[in-house]
Amino acid sequence: MSIELIEEEIRKLRLEMDAMEVGSPEYENQKDRIYDLQKTFFSSLSAWDRVTLARDPKRAKAQDYIKHLFTDFIELHGDRGCKDDGAIIGGLAYFEDMPVTVIAESKGKSFEENMKMNFGMVSPEGYRKALRLAKQAEKFNRPIITIVDTPGAYPGKVAEEHGQAEAIAKCLYTFADLKVPVICIVISEGGSGGALALSVADRIIMLENAVYSILSPEGFASILWKDDSKVKEAAEVMKMTSYDLKEEKIVDYIVKEPIGKIEENFMSVIDQIKRLLHDNLKELSAKKKSVLVEERLNKYRNLGVPPWKM
């Protein structure tokens, strides 16, 4: 059964609940039916189901994580060269009284916001804004928290003319050598170089139903099989789920999501991320800068290398 059918079934059951007396045996039985239905479905999600959940327009955005994870957030704008890209939200904040720099890719919550944020597809100016903030964080010895939620970098003609590939490459090069802790959180979609640009980090945290891949399942299917209708098969082959990536040691931590949609118990997700940030910032901040950079480089050098060759 697909997510759409499950949601329709749950919607009908909840409509029936509206006619029941709150707290009555019938009402409680209906709640149990909904929970059992969700539990059965969400315990056996396919890769494509997770793609669908990650792309859900109602899923929490980077703005929601910034609001609940950090205090005193001050947004900074512009790349000091061309313009301010709305697809990157960046600035200064406190995490548990520790000053940090936050750099987040974000989609909007409405059509108007999505137009302003280009549906989370970052332009070269956005990546250059991220670079500016990252170098500023290094100068003032502030840890960096990046939040990834993008289908990919903006592929338009103007973006290419403004140096999209160079901007992404500069991010990879710069983040690899930053002498402050870098922690990346993949909250929904992590697509292609658009996501990779902000995920060269000491630790990568990924939400359970987020996805992270070299390109979209649609693009993969059209390239491999010349048939973009085979998206479900592509999603399985690509190994793009949090569990696939944890097994490959690309992702360090998986944040469990509540049964049903993430917004049903968003604070449980926030609490898990807070604990991970607390523990890892404490550990990483205690390391010498040279050790921090060397360990980060080794993390990526060793990806895909068999244990006996490491």
Residue 155 scores a pLDDT above 80? yes
Residues 6 or more apart from 205 whose CB is under 8 A from it? Answer: 183, 184, 185, 186, 251, 252, 253, 255, 273, 276, 277
**Mean pLDDT across the chain, nearest whole number?**
91
Residue with tokens 């890209």: 85
Q: Which of 152-156, 176-180, 221-225, 260-264 has the highest mean pLDDT?
A: 176-180
- Please tell me the total number of residues recorded for the chain in this structure: 310
**Residue 49 or residue 307, greater confidence:** 49
Query: In this predicted model, what pLDDT tens digit does every residue of 19-62 receive, in sequence order?
Result: 888 888 888 888 888 887 777 778 788 999 999 999 999 999 99
Q: Is the pTM of this model over 0.85?
A: yes
Residue 9 scores a pLDDT above 90? no
Confidence (pLDDT) at 304 = 66
Residue 284 scores a pLDDT above 80? yes
The candidate with the shortest Cα–Cα distance to 296, out of 185, 181, 197, 170, is 181
Number of helices (H), then strands (E), in the chain: 14, 8
In the chain, % of residues over pLDDT 70: 97
Interatomic CA distance for residues 134 and 178, integer angstroms: 8
For the packed helices 289-301 and 164-176, what is the interaxial angle rounded to 10 degrees?
A: 120
Range scoring the smallest mean pLDDT among 67-71, 149-153, 260-264: 260-264
Query: In this predicted model, what pLDDT tens digit does every residue of 17-31 receive, in sequence order?
Result: 888 888 888 888 888
